Chain A
Amino acid sequence: MNWTTFLALLGRDAHVARRNFVPLILQTFLQPMMFVFIFGRVMVSSGYMPAAYKSLLLPGIMAISMVFTGVWAVAMPLIAEFQFTREIEDRLLAPINISWLAIEKVFFGALQALAAGLAVIPMAWLLLRPGVEFNLSSPLRFACVTVLVALFSACGGLALGCSVNQTHIGLMFSMVLTPMIFFGCTYYPWSALGHFPILQKVVLINPLVYASEGLRGTLVPQFPHLPVLAVLIVLTIFDVLFLAVGLRQFHAKSVS
């Protein structure tokens, strides 16, 4: 393992991210904040939603922001760089095993997802207050869930980014990310699907369910949620699975 090269690759990605800072911020936070404002503020203050919905919504919004940011941060550059201009080529020729280039992308994407997730908390709190009730009983468990969610989003971004062509980006969002978000227990707890028993089982293949439920279980445990231990185990499995698939796809794309 060649740390000098790894850090230089990371430095390059950080440099590019810094250059695109404002669009990146808008892209990450605009949509979740609008959602928070409409559902947490407008709907609640007009009485269509109970006040408790504010606290229930926040972990879901955090999960969406993290997953969206992680997937976007890793997948979009990869899709562009593997186009026929092959912009990624100079990094594939850097003196480091090419798997580490993929891991560097995942690492940087996970950092961005973490930053997005942690930034959503104060921003949403500002928009929603008063009435948001956090019960952060175990910071360690919260940290573990957050890190696993960040990693799963970045690994998912790697797998998607190396499997999707530029022409199919729109399809990737409408066919993969949007259903994931709506069936990801982000705007409602998993137990709310009790009236739809089949759907309730089917959504368990959606990793975002575990992200939302895990964050709910550690941030606002007063609401029903899946057991945190189970969430940690399943998220770890998803992380490993997506990383393995992503690395395989990355190699297939890199070497002809």
Chain B
Amino acid sequence: MALISLSQSFLTQRAPPYGIGMSTGIRTRDLRKTYTSPPPLASGGGFGFSAARGKGNKQPKPQIVALDGISLEVLPGEIFGLLGPNGAGKSTTVGILTTRVRPTSGQAWIGEHDVWAEQVAVKRLIGVVQQRPNLDFTLTAREILLFHGAYFGIDSHERTERATTLLERFKLTDRADQMVRGFSGGMMQRLAIARAMMHDPQVLFLDEPSAGLDPQTRLLLWEIIREYNQSGKTVLLTTHNMEEADALCQRLAIIDHGKNIALGTPAELKASVPGGYLLRLRFGQHSPEMLQRLQRLAGVREVRPIANNENSADVYADRGGSLVGEIASLASAASVELCDVHISEPSLENLFLHHTGRSLRD
């Protein structure tokens, strides 16, 4: 199995196999976070806030476990993705790594700096784009960049130049001197990314960077992220978009319910799904015998009944379309009606389904 568990990777990959110059990596050890008040929308809007309640207290505080022991290591100079559905704990992980969320337990480091103990040193190294555009609405686009540069001590001449370059790069020049209140969602998002890059941080965090961007801008963003990475910078991005994870990330961690499910390169992860192809079948009636027969077909690696729908099954196999005819003949021989077939080619979506029984989009 090509799947590398996260804790193993933490122990074995002490020395980065590749790394450019003075790049900075990220590590976390057994991060846990339990919210006792509703988390701010910016750090994980996906939570339903009713989960467990403490016992014994007169007024029990609602508790929600957002992270349940996340350990991971992002190598210096790589583009690393956190992939998972809404509420999986991606934003909370980013929140902890960027000093904005206090972990309930566990530790996190940016380079050699403990995030919670050395916040100022960490903030110098990182640039952050949060899930919601959180621009300073009392300023114009250019002023947002200029003041951001000033907070980081960039001298006046240089920050003016950088702001102009970034506004140009993100196609915001014609609106540069307008208040951002009237900007569209996509423009705000682009400006938020430009702002995060303004002080040329060693590590760039992007929480759902392409949410709300049109396809063209998304491609522009991907290009900018790759370019930024090629200059030796580390990028950590979260996404629930498999296409983005696949196209952009050198390595990925898949998380769900605050836990690591899988880690590896997109290719490794896809190869770790038995067979690679997934055929979702729906029959007219429940037939355990049918499922056993499916298992014996050439190329079928695994057959899984679906928990809450006994007429359906997931078939993991190393081929897709060519299997359909054989499945249909099997079904007609057994007098079971085959109602629906859906074939997925090897993808991260299949991997997620394989591990959780749920679709990323659910």
Is the CB of B123 closer than 8 A to any CB of chain A?
yes
Provide the bound-state CA to CA distance between A2 and B151, in Å. 10
Interface size bucket, A side? 20 to 34
CB distance from B66 to the nearest CB of A (A): 10
Q: Given A15-B143, A95-B124, A256-B40, decide whether A5 and B100 contact each other with a Cβ distance below 8 A.
A: no
Evaluate contact between A84 and B39: CB separation under 8 angstroms.
Answer: no
Q: Given A92-B100, A256-B35, decide whether A85 and B137 contact each other with a Cβ distance below 8 A.
A: yes
Is the CB of B102 closer than 8 A to any CB of chain A?
yes
CB distance from A95 to the nearest CB of B (A): 5
Q: Given A89-B42, A90-B136, A94-B123, decide whether A256 and B95 contact each other with a Cβ distance below 8 A.
A: yes
Chain B residues contacting A5 (CB-CB under 8 Å) are 151-153
Provide the bound-state CA to CA distance between A227 and B337, in Å. 96
Provide the bound-state CA to CA distance between A96 and B152, in Å. 9
CB distance from B188 to the nearest CB of A (A): 10
Provide the bound-state CA to CA distance between A85 and B40, in Å. 10
Q: Of the 9-residue stretches A6-14, A23-31, A228-236, which lies at the interface with chain B? A: A6-14
1/0 contact string of A74-105 vs chain B (CB within 8 Å): 00000000001111011111111110000000
Is the CB of A16 closer than 8 A to any CB of chain B?
yes
Chain A residues contacting B119 (CB-CB under 8 Å) are 97-98
CB distance from A180 to the nearest CB of B (A): 28
Who on chain A is nearest to B152 by CB? A95
Most B-side CB within 10 Å, residue of A4, A86, A87, A93: A93
Is the CB of A140 closer than 8 A to any CB of chain B?
no
CB distance from A36 to the nearest CB of B (A): 31
Evaluate contact between B134 and A85: CB separation under 8 angstroms.
Answer: yes
Who on chain A is nearest to B143 by CB? A15
Chain A residues contacting B124 (CB-CB under 8 Å) are 95
Is the CB of A195 closer than 8 A to any CB of chain B?
no
Chain B residues contacting A93 (CB-CB under 8 Å) are 98-100, 123, 126, 128
Provide the bound-state CA to CA distance between A97 and B123, in Å. 10
CB distance from A93 to the nearest CB of B (A): 6
Who on chain A is nearest to B198 by CB? A90
Provide the bound-state CA to CA distance between A11 and B146, in Å. 11
Evaluate contact between A84 and B138: CB separation under 8 angstroms.
Answer: no
User: Could you tell me how many residues of chain B have their Cβ less than 8 Å away from some Cβ of chain A?
Assistant: 37
Q: Given A2-B120, A94-B152, A95-B120, decide whether A12 and B100 contact each other with a Cβ distance below 8 A.
A: no
Provide the bound-state CA to CA distance between A130 and B101, in Å. 60
CB distance from B25 to the nearest CB of A (A): 20
Provide the bound-state CA to CA distance between A92 and B196, in Å. 13
Q: Given A15-B143, A95-B124, A256-B101, decide whether A87 and B137 contact each other with a Cβ distance below 8 A.
A: yes
Is the CB of B139 closer than 8 A to any CB of chain A?
yes
1/0 contact string of A227-256 vs chain B (CB within 8 Å): 000000000000000000000000000111
Q: Given A9-B151, A256-B35, A256-B95, decide whether A89 and B138 contact each other with a Cβ distance below 8 A.
A: no
Contact of B151 among A8, A15, A254 (CB under 8 A): A8
Is the CB of B147 closer than 8 A to any CB of chain A?
yes
Q: Given A5-B153, A85-B132, decide whether A19 and B138 contact each other with a Cβ distance below 8 A.
A: yes
Evaluate contact between A256 and B135: CB separation under 8 angstroms.
Answer: no
CB distance from B62 to the nearest CB of A (A): 14
Who on chain A is nearest to B127 by CB? A93
CB distance from B287 to the nearest CB of A (A): 50
Provide the bound-state CA to CA distance between A4 and B156, in Å. 12
Evaluate contact between A86 and B134: CB separation under 8 angstroms.
Answer: yes
Who on chain A is nearest to B147 by CB? A12
Q: Given A15-B143, A85-B132, decide whether A8 and B150 contact each other with a Cβ distance below 8 A.
A: yes
Evaluate contact between B39 and A95: CB separation under 8 angstroms.
Answer: no
Provide the bound-state CA to CA distance between A9 and B136, in Å. 12
Q: Given A4-B153, A255-B100, decide whether A16 and B138 contact each other with a Cβ distance below 8 A.
A: yes
Show 25 residue pairs from A and B whose CB-CB distance is below 8 angstroms, ordered by the A residue. Answer: A2-B120, A4-B150, A4-B153, A5-B151, A8-B151, A12-B136, A85-B134, A86-B42, A86-B130, A86-B132, A87-B135, A89-B100, A89-B134, A90-B134, A90-B135, A90-B136, A90-B151, A90-B195, A93-B99, A94-B123, A95-B123, A98-B119, A255-B99, A255-B101, A256-B37
**A→B interface (CB under 8 Å):** 2, 4-5, 8-9, 11-12, 15-16, 19, 84-87, 89-98, 254-256
5 interchain residue pairs of minimum CB distance = A8-B150, A94-B151, A89-B134, A4-B153, A86-B134
Extra A-B contacts (6), CB below 8 Å, given A4-B153, A256-B35 = A86-B130, A86-B134, A91-B136, A93-B100, A256-B40, A256-B101
